[in-house]
Structure 1
Amino acid sequence: MDVLQDHLVRARASGGVFARSTAEPPWGLHLPGTIPLTVHAVVQGRMWLWFDDPSEAIELAPGDVALVRGGQDHFAAHRPGAACVPHEVFQARHADDAPVHGASVFLCGAYTLSGDVGRGLLEALPPVLSLSAAADDPLHAVIALLSAELTAPAPGRQTVLDRLLDVLLVLAIRACFQNGDHAPRWYTAAADPRLGPALGALHADAAHPWTVPELAGISGLSRAAFARIFQLALGRSPMRYLTEWRMTLARDHLRTGDLTLAQIGARTGYASPYAFATAFRRHHGVPPGQWRRGSR
């Protein structure tokens, strides 16, 4: 089990909006903080990104990618501090701009990630993450394919865009976790050969009645050594981690309403609806049915 893949699948990450823009200076774009995750990729020219203070703007060159987490409005422009307008006004102003010398050509997309699993992934990212891809980096190839698909629409375009958006998001998050200080504990632990096998097994089958000795055996460690290393790496005991992961999955199922309480309990390792309701109440202070009504 690839633990990052498990998080991405459960977060149901999807790119709802994506556009290729060409803009001759002066230009500026104002994007709201209500977008959970925005991706910017520069094809030609330069782009500057900032939040409240233009003096802290980040410059993006051709081939660079930036992920911007929701929460704060952010601005993109040909220079820091330029006047910025909402997306609809920007599109109308620059609809006829051609990709001549001096113009900026960039891709802009908006992602949604669902539930607590998606929220956890977003919270692991910095407010803005910029990635400068080397010439042989797969990110370059994905950006080129996205740009080509948006330039010359063809049958099946949305399917192609959806798949490329998935690839772009995974590559960017993976690069963030591998190269930065923002990797969540579970990502680092999954790469540890002493913990990875057990963590992968736990994520592959959260409903299994796991025990510490069984997980330790999967990792080839003694019970005491496994429990100690797990606690140090993830900040909680194996059973506490398992319970929290089960509750995370349960909350996401409760939000979507796709399963009954009995089905949720069975999928998260509880032998009966009563056992599930008792565990959920102990963890959240309210029974699952009440929590579901409140979340809606």
Structure 2
Amino acid sequence: MVDPLAEVVTLLQPGAPFSKVVSGAGRWNVRRTEFGQPFYCVILTGSSRLVVDGHEPVTLQEGDFVLIPSAYGFTMSSLEPTTSEGTDRPPILLPHGEYRLGIEIGPPDVRLLVGHCVFGSPDADLLVSLIPQLVHVRGERRLATLVQLVGEESREQRPARDVILARLLEVLLIEALRSTAGTAASPGLLRGLADARLGLAIRRMHESPTEPWTVAQLAKEAALSRSAFFERFKRAVGVAPMEYLLTWRMALAKSLLRRKETAIAEVAERVGYSSASTFSVAFTRHVGLPPTQYARGLLMEQVGESNAI
């Protein structure tokens, strides 16, 4: 059986170039608006407060894990309200390698392992749109263990470090997403898969992207009326069924074009288009470049990298 979540994460090509341990004492506040940089955090001890733009404030407790796949603007702070003096000051590097927010001396109120991951896929923005904007998992020790391993690997220069990090991040991301309660997740693929009926339709789209799907056919797969399916899908996934299908087809097309040995006509056929011209029009509208130009741009990038070497 096709696993849509695993397919999306595999295409994202996650990696972890940065992580650090941060502690906080007293009143502190950190504001970040680095769009496009996926952010994760595990609470090692203590508690803190997280406010992600567009979401209700969350009190984070020991063992909690947070993933913001495309790093929407967010603020992390102490539980106590901050004063103007404690607002968004850069952390201080302590002698043992930990970073401190707020009061420099004394025991911390909270310790966090925080980091940025990257998605190596050229169409990461497109794929990230399929998963929740905010993932908050509580009571999952497996995640804490995985994040600890990521932190250790990112700080050490061991053999095969990059390979290990890539694999750990892929496992971490899937584990975080599947551990999130479906009804509590923000709209996205995860919440859609948690709905038994919508999950059937989503899996069918991933199993057979070449099928000429319509809303009526997908509603039949989900054993729902057309209108009920459409509204339920849009509410859970965040986009209309045909928009989701188009996004997935374009992600597959980009992946095929990156392999370079696949002709445009074959790519069109493998993602559900009856002709190369029809596919080219859809691809151009969605991506902003014709598929031939997109593939040529990838080739030029590779040539440039080869010359640099």
- The question of a shared fold, defined as TM-score above 0.5 by the shorter chain, is answered with yes
Contact 2:16 2:169 in 1 (8 A): yes
The 1:133–1:239 alpha-carbon spacing in structure 2 relative to 1, beyond 3 Å, is closer
Q: Distance in 2 between matches of 1:7 and 1:210?
A: 20
Q: Residues 36, 77 of structure 1: CA spacing in aligned structure 2 closer, same or farther, 3 A cutoff?
A: same
Give the alignment's TM-score, normalised by structure 2.
0.64
Unaligned runs of 5+ in 1: none
1:172 to 164, 173, 176: 176
Distance change in 2, residues 1:178/1:148 (3 Å): same
Aligned mates of 1:111, 1:31 — CA distance in 2: 15
Determine the structure 1 residue equivalent to 2:7.
6
Check conservation: 1:29, 1:85, Cα contact below 8 A: yes
Counterpart residue identity of residue 173, structure 1: L
Give the whole-Å Cα distance in 1 for the aligned partners of 2:24 and 2:94: 6
User: What is the Cα deviation at residue 12 of structure 1?
Assistant: 2.9
In structure 2, the partner of 1:16 is 17
Q: Cα RMSD between the aligned structures?
A: 4.7
C-alpha deviation, 1:48, in angstroms: 4.3
TM-score by length of 1: 0.66
User: 1:269 and 2:272 equivalent?
Assistant: yes
Shift of 1:177: 5.1
Identity of aligned residues (%): 24
1:142 Cα shift?
A: 2.7
User: Secondary structure of 1:178's partner?
Assistant: coil
Give the aligned length.
276
State the 1:249 CA deviation: 4.0
**Take 1:233 and 1:269, find their aligned partners in 2: how far apart are those partners?**
24
Alpha-carbon separation, structure 2, partners of 1:285 and 1:106: 38
Give the distance between the partners of 1:165 and 1:189, measured in 2 at CA: 23
- Please tell me whether residue 125 in structure 1 is matched to residue 133 in structure 2: yes
User: Where does structure 2 lack aligned partners over 5 or more consecutive residues?
Assistant: 100-104, 299-309
1:125 touches 1:176 (CA, 8 Å); kept in 2? Answer: no
Query: For structure 1, which segment, 107-116 or 193-202, has the greater mean C-alpha deviation from structure 2 after superposition?
Result: 193-202
1:102 is aligned to 2:101: no
Shift of residue 120, structure 1, vs aligned partner: 0.7
| Per-residue CA distance 1:216-255 (angstroms, 9 max, x = gap) | 88x496xxx675654343259876754454245446767x
Map residues 132-211 of structure 1 onto 2, 5 A cutoff.
132-133=138-139, 137-146=141-150, 155-176=159-180, 178-184=182-188, 186-208=189-211
